[in-house]
Structures are given as C-alpha cells and as structure tokens.
Homo-oligomer: A and B are copies of this chain.
Amino acid sequence: MSSKYQSLKEECYEANMQLDALDLVIYTFGNVSAVDRKEGVFAIKPSGVPYAELKPEDIVILDFDNNVIEGTMRPSSDTKTHAYLYKNWENIGGIAHTHATYSVAWAQSQLDIPIFGTTHADHLTADIPCAPPMKDELIAGNYEYNTGIQILDCFKEKGLSYEEVQMILIGNHGPFTWGPTAAKAVYNSKVLEEVGRMAYLTLQINPKAPRLKDSLIKKHYERKHGKNAYYGQN
C-alpha cells in the first residue's frame, strides 16, 4: 500500500504548499519538484491542481526521461523542464517555478536584475540572469524540453555556475529556481521575488543607482558561503 517514494512525495508536497504560504502563487500558477538521486526519479506537482486541494498522494513520480513511474495524475505542464535540469545538473535536489509578481515583471522586461545591495550579494555574486525568449521553431517544437536547453544555454553564455546562481528568469515567462533541496528551491523563489522588488524600487527612487561594488559583493557572499563563512550555526 505505501509507496517507496512516500517521503519524496511528502517533501515535494510540503515544498509546493510553501509556495502558497509565502504568497508566491495564486491559483495553480506554480510547481515544485524534488529529486531522489539514488532512485533516479523526481516527484512533481500534478498539473492544474489548486493548492487547497493538493494531497501528498497526488504527487507524480517520473524518471529523467519523463516516464511516469508512479501516480495517476498528469504531471505539471512544465515537467520536461524539470527533468532536463535534473539530468544535466547533478547537484540539484529541488526545482521551483512560480509566476510571482516582481519576478514576472522583470522577466517581462527582459532585463537581468542588477546587483544593487547586500541582500542580493548574500545569495549570489552575479546579476540575476534573464534568458532571452527562444526561437519560434523551438517554441513550436518540444517547448518545455527546449526551455531546459534555454536555461543551460543562458548559463553557458554568461559563464555562470548553477551551484552559485540558483535562479533564472525566463524572458516573458517567469522564474525558475533550484537548490540542494526542494525547500531551498522555494526559499530561492522567495529571495528572488524580494530582491526583484527591492531592485525595482531602487530604480524608481534613483534611476542612476550604481551597481554594488566588488569588494562588498565578495565580502557578503564569502561571509555566508565562503571557506571561512561565519554566518549561521555551522
């Protein structure tokens, strides 16, 4: 009766419910997945199910080639993007996608979010990348799979590391974020939304606001993530 993926489903379920609790989604506008690397599968939200109705047993289990391993519901329409990222980025444990307001506004603006302050530098040292819209033939084709390619291409072109920069904006669409766990992927969605809101306000107050200087970027990132980090309890 009980599934061998029970704890994976519950991790995925809890992370999806966090999206809602953190005001990152309305209705069904988002999805989170969690991976089990040993089993080579990931768990993802079923498509179009409101958060208020979602149950752990609704979560769908797939392999990295998008074959459904367990579950009777149709998985998220964005499933192929998740699968592509899990297949190519071996150190990520969870992925989140939302239509959060400020993140989408920046994506619709087709602009990277400039690094203006230490809230940003506490999490990453680069501007938050916005991938340009993909070519028409790719959109008409295997769209969600190609979105995965679009993300990797953008990281390659900008020379970014997915282990440091755990977020991207898909131009005209919205954010994808990831991390070592599904919970951390959701955390990164919230941080991105807040950093995007702060950057928006900064430019409204001072359109000539300067980018954060390198010494402060380095100091804040290092004190939280460097070899001699002294933020947090270990």
Q: Are A223 and B110 in contact (CB under 8 A)?
A: no
Cβ of A69 within 8 Å of any chain B Cβ, yes or no, is no
Q: Which of B116, B198, B200, B233 contacts A48 (CB 8 A)?
A: B233
Cβ of A136 within 8 Å of any chain B Cβ, yes or no, is yes
Q: Are A46 and B116 in contact (CB under 8 A)?
A: no
Q: Which of B108, B139, B198 contacts A108 (CB 8 A)?
A: B198
Q: Which of B77, B102, B118, B172 contacts A230 (CB 8 A)?
A: B77
Cβ of A152 within 8 Å of any chain B Cβ, yes or no, is no
Q: Are B201 and A101 in contact (CB under 8 A)?
A: yes
Q: Are A139 and B216 in contact (CB under 8 A)?
A: yes
Set of chain B residues within 8 Å of A116, measured between Cβ atoms: 108, 172
A218 to B194, CA, bound (A): 31
Cβ of A173 within 8 Å of any chain B Cβ, yes or no, is yes
Q: Are A205 and B105 in contact (CB under 8 A)?
A: yes
Copies in the complex: 4
A210 to B12, CA, bound (A): 36
Number of chain A residues whose Cβ lies closer than 8 Å to a Cβ of chain B: 60
Set of chain B residues within 8 Å of A105, measured between Cβ atoms: 198, 201-202, 204-205
Set of chain B residues within 8 Å of A213, measured between Cβ atoms: 133, 136, 172
Given contacts A49-B233, A110-B206, contact A172 B104 (CB under 8 A): no
Write the A169-198 contact mask toward B (1 if CB under 8 angstroms, else 0). 000111000000000000100110010011
Set of chain B residues within 8 Å of A108, measured between Cβ atoms: 116-117, 198-199, 202, 209
Cβ of A5 within 8 Å of any chain B Cβ, yes or no, is no
Chain B residue at smallest Cβ distance from A205: B109
Set of chain B residues within 8 Å of A26, measured between Cβ atoms: 190, 194
Q: Are A73 and B210 in contact (CB under 8 A)?
A: no
Given contacts A105-B201, A202-B108, contact A47 B232 (CB under 8 A): yes
A73 to B49, CA, bound (A): 38
